[in-house]
Amino acid sequence: MSQAQGYAAQSADQPLAPFSFERREPGAHDVQIDILFCGVCHSDLHTARNEWNNTLYPSVPGHEIVGTVTAVGAHVKNFKVGDSVGVGCMVDSCQHCAPCDAGEESYCENGFTGTYNGNLYGGSENTQGGYSDHIVVNEKFVLKVSHTENLAAVAPLLCAGITTYSPLAHWKVGPGKKVGIVGLGGLGHMGVKIAHAMGAHVVLFTTSANKKDDALRLGADEVVVSKNEDEMAAHANSFDFILNTVAAPHNLDAFLTLLKWDGTMTLVGVPAEPHPAPSVFNLVMKRRQLAGSLIGGIRETQEMLDFCAKHGIVSDIEQIAIQNINDAYERMLKSDVKYRFVIDMQSLKQGQTAA
């Protein structure tokens, strides 16, 4: 065992605070990683505050991890000490169901093990995530990071990147397709960048009129303020695909009516409370589809990282010291993120208080 330092929530109503815990020694197939940066996903907040009613405490969130390999087990083939690597939302899965066989571990029929708030296969421990100084992960769930110039800005690709890339690829977004991205937060801004790089015509829907210029800079061709009914109506029946990243309940019909015949809206945002039920009429009249998507498999995550490296895509980030994580959560709740907070893990070691 090695001693790890991190930040944990001890209960739903307490702020995150310093926490010391044990990590296993690397086994034969494990990679030990010194964590340099960890992105702050809205799922971290949902979990820290038990908004999905499944949190095991104490809980160290964080599943957008980049760092440097410091040790490898005897049978590790693909990584060596000194490599720059990433870890996303998963650290294990059953490895023998149909989705695992297909390399789609996020849909593991026996449940994948989350990087935090999950039980390891063959063990009963609660996994602890990336708001910490190091982590030990089976090499199957470790990703190679090739664009190392700005590692902090690569970290959010491990969740926000793959969660948007996977549905955009699955629903064949590309040239000639009109694609909507709903919400310009961590996921949404990656969705805009990736859909633009895939060659689609990208329309960003936002509730924050002041994000308009940023959305155009990030790669949107058009921006619609979704509270403006006239702006919305101008796009009726015109979208091939809409990716909805919103983290709060809202009226889905406002977006479903913008899909054209056979169009699909895929939800990736997982609000704590349900959305109002959408109108069946809006779905049946044009054979529209309402779908969901969960992160992406390890193979596809590597494909996404390589795609982003090739296209020079990283996240737009605001780097913070870990001591400021609770303020960052409050700002995230106000949609005030430009466009992903990333924790500099040096701040943990140095005990700094300034951002």
Tokens of 3: 């001693």
Alpha helices in the chain (DSSP H): 42-48, 98-101, 151-154, 160-170, 186-197, 212-218, 229-233, 253-256, 280-284, 298-311, 325-333, 346-350
84 touches, from Zn ion, ligand NAP, none (C-beta below 5 to 8 Å by class): none
CA 15/CA 298 separation, integer angstroms: 32
Question: Judged by CB under 5 A, does residue 41 bind Zn ion?
Answer: yes
Residues that bind ligand NAP (CB under 6 A): 41-43, 46, 159, 163, 183-188, 206-208, 211, 245-248, 250, 268-271, 293-295, 332, 335, 337
Output 6 or 167, the one with its CB closest to ligand NAP: 167
For residue 350, the minimal CB distance to Zn ion (Å) is 26
CB of 74 to ligand NAP, least distance (A): 34
Nearer to Zn ion, 159 or 224 (CB): 159
Interactions with Zn ion, residue window 146-185 (CB under 5 A): 159
Query: Nearest approach, Cβ of 312 to Zn ion (angstroms)?
Result: 23
- Work out the burial of residue 294: count CB atoms within 10 Å of its CB; fewer than 13 is exposed, 13-18 middle, 19 or more buried: middle
Nearer to ligand NAP, 66 or 247 (CB): 247
The span from the CA of 27 to the CA of 91, in Å, is 14
Q: CB-wise, 64 or 344, nearer to ligand NAP?
A: 64
User: CA-CA distance, 220 to 232, in Å (whole number)?
Assistant: 16
Is omega for the bond preceding 107 within 30 degrees of 0, making it cis?
Answer: no
Give the H or E element holding residue 179: strand 178-182
Output 41 or 305, the one with its CB closest to ligand NAP: 41
Q: Which is nearer to Zn ion, 72 or 159 (CB)?
A: 159
Selected binder of Zn ion within 5, 32, 43, 106 (CB under 5 A): 43
Please state the closest distance from residue 199 (CB atom) to ligand NAP, in A.
23
Encoded one letter per residue, x for contact with Zn ion by CB under 5 A and - for no contact, window 206-245 reads ----------------------------------------
Residue 287 C-beta: closest distance to Zn ion, Å: 31
Distance (Å, whole) CA 101 – CA 44: 28
65 or 203: CB nearest Zn ion: 65
Q: Is 40 in the site for Zn ion (CB under 5 A)?
A: no
Distance CA 108, CA 331 (A): 34
Query: What whole-number distance in Å separates Cα of residue 153 and Cα of residue 277?
Result: 37
How far apart (Å, rounded) are the C-alpha atoms in residues 113 and 197? 31
Residue 261: CB minimum distance to ligand NAP, A: 26
In angstroms, the CA 320 to CA 40 distance is 10
* Spatial separation of the C-alpha atoms in residues 159 and 83, rounded to whole Å: 20
Using CB distances below 5 to 8 A depending on partner kind, what does residue 189 bind out of ligand NAP, Zn ion, none? none
Please give the residue ranges that form the binding site for Zn ion (CB under 5 A): 41, 43, 159
